[in-house]
């Protein structure tokens, strides 16, 4: 019997709590919230890019690198 696959936790990376409209988060913040090491977070971000998600990298006001996921376009039925 074949086991059903479940979505990877990379698909469930939560947005930052501080400002839900900002939608930018650092590797450190993702790691703290999910209990992951930095190299695991970066691998998950790379996996999202390879899956076709638009991930942008920029610097915040304090010079820390932050990542943003573009919203997923959905079609209205």
Per the CB < 8 A criterion, the answer to whether 65 and 57 are in contact is: yes
Instruction: Report the pLDDT value the prediction gives residue 35, as an integer from 0 to 100.
Output: 94
Q: What are the domain boundaries of the chain?
A: 22-69
**What mean pLDDT, rounded, does the chain reach?**
79
Q: What is the mean pLDDT of residues 9-17?
A: 54
State the fold for domain 22-69: Arc Repressor Mutant, subunit A (1.10.10)
Nearest to 10 by CA among 65, 27, 58, 75: 27
């Amino acid at each position: 019997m074949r086991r059903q696959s479940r979505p990877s936790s990379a698909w469930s990376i939560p947005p930052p709590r501080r400002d839900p409209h900002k939608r930018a988060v650092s590797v450190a913040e993702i790691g703290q919230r999910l209990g992951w090491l930095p190299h695991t977070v970066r691998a998950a971000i790379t996996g999202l890019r390879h899956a076709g998600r638009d991930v942008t990298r920029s610097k915040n006001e304090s010079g820390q690198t932050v990542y943003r996921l573009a919203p997923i376009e959905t079609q209205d039925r």
